[in-house]
Structure 1
Amino acid sequence: MTTSVQHNHGQIQIVFLVLLVLFSPLAIDIYLPALPQMAQDFEVKHALAQDTITWFLFAMGVGQLFAGPLADKLGRRTVALAGVSIYASSALLAWGAQSIEWMLLARLLQGLGACATSVAAFATVRDIFGPNKSGKMISYLNGAICFIPALAPILGSWITQELGWRTNFSFMALFGVCVYLALAAAMKETNPTPTDEPVFRLSRYAAVLSTPSFVFHACLCMLAMAVILAYVTSAPVVLMENLGLSMNEFTVWFGINAIINITACMSAPKFVERFGTYTALMVGILVLSVGGVLMLSLARYQTPLAFMLPIFVSSVSFAFILGAAAGKALAPFGDKAGTAAALLGLFQMSGSGLVVAIVQRLDMQPHVMIAVQMFILLPSLFILLSKAGKKWHLALA
């Protein structure tokens, strides 16, 4: 009887973990079909509407530097509940925003809330499953995250067409309220021994940033993420405004790319296991460069396939680069693994958002802007071939 109760309790906690990691991708993907309408209603350039995504990611990245230590100090449950509260409240602020400035502020706060839910979820995984089994559970959670880009735009397209684009944010708020009530009722604290260490200690991060291997591989993750972010923010404008696709047609193309991305993410670990991380990075960067050439070569063809084919290629390369580089970035660290992971998140989220925001201000055509993002990674290929690059990559191999 006791075993059955414990099993049911464990299943409930897993459901909570899945719900907690869904906040971030939901906040990005559900309202993508509405980006052109948002820009029109706020009477701003598309780049400012796209900033609602980059600001969200920036806050998520910076927030990890504080959310992790807070989860250790105050407990996973407390940080999770606080994160959901901030997320839902800021979603309501976005729903009622009457200017792009208020919308950007709301998204900044929402990024902090989503960051807290994500950190609490992955910290709880480590508490429950331990160092040996947590990797498998994290893979399942990442799989759940990957499905959102395929499903959320479909829901967002229907909501936008039937109820208006603002309803996407009220849906996020409702989702947050429901999850909060469930967590408050049944989520248990999994960290019985909270730490007394300061929430932020600069020396903790300086030791990681002084490691060349970490900086190099974290930059690879950042620039690979920037490619995907450039596509995500540009796709609604290119496919719906420039090419005249309906919201439903847009979600079909977006969903196809999500399926390719999921397949690539599942295949990349097997490739790495067989050929190693060094080969995976080399192949990933080369394939990404091919995607950039395709993007420029096909720019004159005004069809959805001409735009999406290079994106399909980049999704494959993204899985290879991120899968290999993330592990190598964290490899030199043992007791500082949590700090290194937080900094890696800062590079991936905030760094990529900053890179894309800067490039978008250069007033390039979307095809050219995305191709530039793909080519930015090319110099790293020559770094990998150099003596120093090989040394960085082989650190603690």
Structure 2
Amino acid sequence: MQSKTLLPLLILMVIFSPLAIDIFLPALPVMAKEFSVSLTQMQASITVFILSMGFGQILSGPLADRYGRRPVAIGGILIYGVAAILAAMATNVELLLLSRLAQGLGACAIVVAAFACVRDKYNALQSGAMYSYLNSAICCIPALAPLLGSLLTEKFGWRSNFEFMAIYAAVAGAIIIFSLKESRPQDTVQHKKLVTVARYFPILKHPVFIFHALLVMLAMAIILAYVSSSPAWLMARLGLSQAEFVFWFSINAALNIVACVIAPKCLTKWGARATIGAGMLMLILAGLLMLALLGVNEPLGFMLPVMISSLGFSLLMGACSGQALAPFGDKAGTASALLGFIQMSGAAVIVGLLQMLPINEAEQLTVLMLCTLPVYILWKLPVVKKRITLDAY
């Protein structure tokens, strides 16, 4: 399959996940009021989804290696659509969370299949560029979905957000069923048991994988902390209206789109190591700025550091994902699943633990951003550089 044909299909596939996260963010205060729970408790609908996406990949990856990328993607779309309908029908927060748990499982199967397709077709540097292009498509969703979600919530109520997800699953699913061809290589390693320690241990031993996977996890934790806490900080704490929240959220998303379009060019021109280094420096700068602006109770005081961190995130994600998966061409599905597990579940656990501490949302983001500093120092050590360097680095 030519890349010009594959890329649009992959974009349709990776959009499932951010759509399920971003479209109903403006409706969180309304949902919290209807279910008679706190806004913090409603944020669990995001964390549960991300956590489920991570753990589900432990099974989705081996399934993609055994049965192929196409059937796993189609199965994930079916689960995602049904779960969206159940969430739209939820009468209590417990049923909503269970629906989100199932929806996360469906989304993870789609994402694993998409990432495995990329690794099937491209080398390390090309994969990094493709991931950046996919990230740019993903970043369009935070810019557009809250606008749509705000309109849907205002006109039809918060349940219409989940109904829209179900409609998207039906339409995109039909296109994928008729257009996506199988890309699994013939030499893909398959184990007798779907989930075994032996399947993942060789990948976890690889220093190239583990370093870049942990860096992706940290970057993802920053984004998850921002997405889950921004409604509470901007609307509940600073008193912004739904429209004002969407405005600030969309500005950051638009910046993300530009950054993700530029990131593949940076990767091609600078190479992976320089791109990753620039991304880490952006996160460190964002953390220092957030620390300096902690006492500023204005939207810009919160959003400016977030915008800088978004630039760093865009530079890191494609390059780190490409490097992490590069050594595993014969088990791309399993490696992609393990990367997704570490990225999603690790980030969800980190953010969940941070939210239990007696610190506010801005302080949580400050801690996460500044955690990049020791990683950067470690990355600069010659002995570490030697162990995590690929020929294409």
TM class by smaller structure: 0.7 to 0.9
Hey, what does 1:3 align to over in structure 2? Answer: none
Contact 1:47 1:361 in 2 (8 A): no
Distance 2:65 2:253 in 1: 34
Contact 2:136 2:258 in 1 (8 A): no
Residue 152 in structure 1 maps to residue 142 in structure 2:
no
Hey, what does 1:221 align to over in structure 2? Answer: 216
Gaps of 5+ in 2: none
Code of the aligned partner of 2:337: A
Closer, same or farther in 2 for the Cα pair 1:224/1:131, shift >3 Å? closer
Query: 1:374 is paired with a residue of what secondary structure?
Result: helix
Closer, same or farther in 2 for the Cα pair 1:131/1:368, shift >3 Å? closer
Residue 302 in structure 1 maps to residue 303 in structure 2:
no
Aligned pairs for 1:309-320 within 5 A: 309-320=304-315
Hey, what does 1:109 align to over in structure 2? Answer: 102
Hey, what does 1:386 align to over in structure 2? Answer: 381
Hey, what does 2:79 align to over in structure 1? Answer: 86
Q: CA deviation at 1:161?
A: 1.5
Q: CA deviation at 1:77?
A: 3.7
Residue 68 in structure 1 maps to residue 56 in structure 2:
no
More divergent stretch after superposition (267-276 vs 240-249): 267-276
Aligned pairs for 1:95-244 within 5 A: 95-123=88-116, 135=127, 140-183=133-176, 186-187=178-179, 189-190=181-182, 197-198=191-192, 199-244=194-239
Query: 1:232 is paired with a residue of what secondary structure?
Result: helix
Code of the aligned partner of 1:306: G
Hey, what does 1:56 align to over in structure 2? Answer: 49
TM-score (norm 2): 0.88
Q: CA deviation at 1:183?
A: 4.8
Q: CA deviation at 1:126?
A: 6.5
Hey, what does 2:366 align to over in structure 1? Answer: 371
Identity of aligned residues (%): 47
Gaps of 5+ in 1: 1-5
Number of equivalences: 387
Closer, same or farther in 2 for the Cα pair 1:282/1:118, shift >3 Å? closer
Distance 2:152 2:146 in 1: 10
Hey, what does 2:242 align to over in structure 1? Answer: 247
More divergent stretch after superposition (214-223 vs 140-149): 140-149
Contact 1:287 1:313 in 2 (8 A): yes
Hey, what does 2:279 align to over in structure 1? Answer: 284
Deviations 1:89-134 (A, max 9, x none): 111221222332222211111011111222334445667x676998
Distance 1:137 1:365 in 2: 36
Structure having the higher Rg: 1
Q: CA deviation at 1:289?
A: 2.0
Name which of 354, 358, 368 aligns with 2:353: 358
Code of the aligned partner of 1:164: G
Query: 1:263 is paired with a residue of what secondary structure?
Result: helix
Distance 1:137 1:318 in 2: 15
Name which of 2, 11, 34 aligns with 1:18: 11
Residue 347 in structure 1 maps to residue 339 in structure 2:
no
Higher relative contact order (CA 8 A, sep 6+): 2
Deviations 1:182-222 (A, max 9, x none): 555x3465359987743333212101111233222211110
Contact 1:126 1:134 in 2 (8 A): no
Contact 2:61 2:336 in 1 (8 A): no
Closer, same or farther in 2 for the Cα pair 1:134/1:372, shift >3 Å? closer
Q: CA deviation at 1:296?
A: 2.5
Contact 1:243 1:302 in 2 (8 A): yes
Deviations 1:27-65 (A, max 9, x none): 011011112222333233333221211211122122222
Code of the aligned partner of 2:275: A
Code of the aligned partner of 1:22: I
Deviations 1:67-93 (A, max 9, x none): 233234334443233212111111122
Q: CA deviation at 1:352?
A: 0.8
Closer, same or farther in 2 for the Cα pair 1:20/1:214, shift >3 Å? closer
Closer, same or farther in 2 for the Cα pair 1:21/1:273, shift >3 Å? closer
Name which of 301, 321, 330 aligns with 1:326: 321
Q: CA deviation at 1:370?
A: 1.0
TM-score (norm 1): 0.87
Closer, same or farther in 2 for the Cα pair 1:181/1:320, shift >3 Å? closer
Contact 1:208 1:340 in 2 (8 A): yes
Closer, same or farther in 2 for the Cα pair 1:277/1:260, shift >3 Å? same
Q: CA deviation at 1:336?
A: 3.7
Name which of 237, 252, 256 aligns with 1:257: 252
